Homo-oligomer: A and B are copies of this chain.
């Protein structure tokens, strides 16, 4: 039996060990900061961002706190997008996803093995709040494409701004399937909400972002989605039970382009790019602009087009001319990219109907089928021997 002295020694030892373990768990989370400062001290997390003012890049960086941004999909692109915005000091993030973190996600940035099994939105919010407690969050662990969730999703775009009842400032699409993109497109057309689409190819070596102003630039339904050609063998075997490839590099570059464009749009610096592609194998970066399709299937898109035309017509003539000039694609394009169509005859026909002239290095994800009254005649457009359904299925993983 131990003596009292020995027991007391043991207690002191245990108390010390306990304190040491507690110390480890005491995460040094930084305090909230009520006002952004330009002060150059090690303890100021905003000093390098506020320096953008002194460098003559941004007039009023503090304004970043006034914006609310929706991020739909917090996977390989969306999680890094949300992290960048949080570190930049965005006012509010609204995150939507219904996936769980898995070890199979560890080849991309952001999530860590200890978060396996957690809902992605919950894991993302926890990490991002530790990184920047000044950011407000709303997170929704659901699929936006079901009827009920879609209604709620639209409501949050319309009323989820920083001031209660006000709309958000921008919607970012970081999803990996066609249905979710179409849902975002439908919601944004109906609400007249500006959004940016992003995507990465199934073979992991290309990606793109596309800025959509309903009525002013092509919506996602106006024409087959544009993707970056990778000059790789497209006949590669794709079976059931296989997964798409992905790389942290391509995902981070696309997220970087997406958030850079977001910052340029929200804070008013540089040029907001309408379409920017990334071909990683050859390191080329196609850009282009697309007007909306006057025969778009989405009635809200048609309505937004009419509104845009009315607004343009109402502008004084000199201003209208300036706007016209902005519409010219690549006017100050330093690469002298010419918009020469690479499409085949069949594709050109489809493309003409939807007013697409493709920049070099871009292709449509599928071709538009001929009108129904032609079907059955054996003359349907089948440029690649694949049906539209097959091609749409492929798009799901873009």
Contact = CB atoms under 8 A, between A and B. Distances in A.
B48 A245 contact: yes
Nearest to A260: B249
A164 B276 CA distance: 45
A276 B336 CA distance: 17
A186 interface: no
Interface stretch (A105-113, A190-198, A343-351): A105-113
A102 B48 CA distance: 12
Interface of A: 1-2, 4, 7-8, 10-11, 14-15, 17-18, 21-22, 24-25, 27-30, 40-49, 51-52, 54-57, 80, 83-84, 87-89, 102-104, 106-109, 112-114, 116, 127, 130-132, 202-205, 232-233, 236-237, 241-250, 252-253, 255-257, 259-260, 263-264, 269-271, 273, 276, 280-287, 332-337, 360-361
B21 A11 contact: no
A124 to B, nearest CB: 14
B236 A56 contact: yes
A45 B248 CA distance: 12
Nearest to A115: B28
B332 A88 contact: no
Nearest to A234: B56
A360 B29 CA distance: 46
B25 A24 contact: yes
